[in-house]
Structure 1
Amino acid sequence: MERLEEKTISSKEIFNGKIISVRVDDVELPNGKTSKREIVKHPGAVAVIAVTDDNKIILVEQYRKAMERTMVEIPAGKLEKGEDPKECAHRELEEETGYECKELEWLTSFYTSPGFADEIIHLYIAKGLSKKENAASLDEDEFVNLEEVTLEQALEYVKEKKIYDAKTAYAIQYLQLQEALSK
């Protein structure tokens, strides 16, 4: 079986921003030749599937500059340095939706774009939701509209491309599978 690892020969940071940094690595390929790899470094993030007692999914609509459009997504946000993902999930749920939860279960973690970025998202499901008095507020540069939708409405949003990001599509498919398995 062929060795697939790439050995880093040199690495140079070319950008260091508020959220991400970018570096260019010179690598030795398995066949002995060399190549360059552009790598986006990201602190990681959490995403929360928030389900109400009447089985509605809480979604947030927000403008995404990179896409130049609004998108409907599950609540999510980046990890602060050294922050526990479960604590971050509680924080992001409260900040983006005003809800707190009695149950928060880790489902899985996944890489968003492993071909060029190391961002990992830790996905949780939140149940036993209640509106929190004096909930933490959004970051000063965040603006969202809340929606509570059924699974069927969420599936329509996928068809209509209102839901158009991988983490939210993954979450909707997870809920669809859970529903199918419970029958």
Structure 2
Amino acid sequence: MDDGHLKEERVDGTLLFKGNFLEARRDTVRMPDGHTATREYVVHPGAVVVIPMLDDGRVVLERQYRYPVGHVMVEFPAGKLDAGEDPLFCGQRELLEETGYSAREWAHAGAMHLAVAYSTEIIHVYFARGLSLGERQLDHGEFLDVITASVDELLGWCRDGTVTDAKSLTCTLWLQNVLSGAWTLDWQETAANGRAG
């Protein structure tokens, strides 16, 4: 498909804010009809979310207070990519640090953009199985509870508003389709360094 009639071209830009984690920008763009407009957006380093599947059919989740929304949220384990970090390695690191679990097999499901109107954030989605429990290695200042739920419980929480986190809602869709056989995954045994074994 030719998308030229839809694309916008950056003409100028300003850095509005640069923090430890995010930056905010305001760009002037030329629209397809030749007019100009302003686009404000957040630059995000990218992230990984993991769908950890226990052998008994339950999944591993977290409960964590999220300051911007002022609520404890139920979420799948996730974390931001460090500069140049391989997404699989990031998923393995975050799963171990936050939950204490490591996995024998991993499968890359896909990627999602969380807020395309105002953020560059992309989240890589991974499934993990063959879990074994070890010691959590939480970052300083990180407080969260690790919980498990059956798929039916998780679906109920998505339906009743207990789970409202966009990445976790999307991961639940992936999980439902993988378990039904509608979507397939390419499972790989992996070593601790994030490379296929």
Fold in common (TM above 0.5)? yes
Root-mean-square deviation (Å): 1.4
Q: Within 1, Cα distance between the matches of 2:98 and 2:136? A: 8
- Per-residue CA deviations over 1:98-137 (Å, capped at 9, x if unaligned) read 00000111100111111111100000000000012xx351
Residue in structure 1 matched with residue 50 of structure 2 by the alignment: 48
- Per-residue CA deviations over 1:66-93 (Å, capped at 9, x if unaligned) read 1110110000000001111000000000
TM-fit CA distance, 1:39: 1.6
Q: What secondary structure is seen at the aligned counterpart in 2 of 1:113?
A: coil
Residue in structure 1 matched with residue 93 of structure 2 by the alignment: 91
Equivalent residue letter for 1:162: T
Residue in structure 2 matched with residue 67 of structure 1 by the alignment: 69
Select 1:39's aligned residue among 33, 38, 41.
Answer: 41
Q: Following superposition of structure 1 onto structure 2, how do residues 1-183 of structure 1 map, counting pairs within 5 Å?
A: 3-132=5-134, 135-181=135-181
Equivalent residue letter for 1:138: L
Equivalent residue letter for 2:72: T
Q: What secondary structure is seen at the aligned counterpart in 2 of 1:83?
A: coil
Give the fraction of aligned pairs with identical amino acids, expressed as a percent. Answer: 37
TM-fit CA distance, 1:179: 2.7
TM-fit CA distance, 1:52: 0.6
TM-fit CA distance, 1:3: 1.3
Residue in structure 1 matched with residue 193 of structure 2 by the alignment: none
- Per-residue CA deviations over 1:9-42 (Å, capped at 9, x if unaligned) read 1011010011110110011111111110002100
Corresponding pairs, count: 180
Stretches of structure 1 lacking an aligned partner (at least 5 in a row): none
Structure 1 runs of 4+ aligned residues shifted over 3 Å read none
Q: Within 2, Cα distance between the matches of 1:92 and 1:160? A: 28
Q: Within 1, Cα distance between the matches of 2:141 and 2:40? A: 28
Q: Within 1, Cα distance between the matches of 2:50 and 2:162? A: 18
Q: Within 2, Cα distance between the matches of 1:87 and 1:176? A: 25
Q: Within 2, Cα distance between the matches of 1:92 and 1:112? A: 19
* Kept after mapping to 1: 8 A contact 2:25/2:42: yes
Q: What secondary structure is seen at the aligned counterpart in 2 of 1:107?
A: strand
Q: Within 2, Cα distance between the matches of 1:35 and 1:173? A: 36
Residue in structure 1 matched with residue 192 of structure 2 by the alignment: none
Stretches of structure 2 lacking an aligned partner (at least 5 in a row): 183-197
Q: What secondary structure is seen at the aligned counterpart in 2 of 1:80?
A: coil
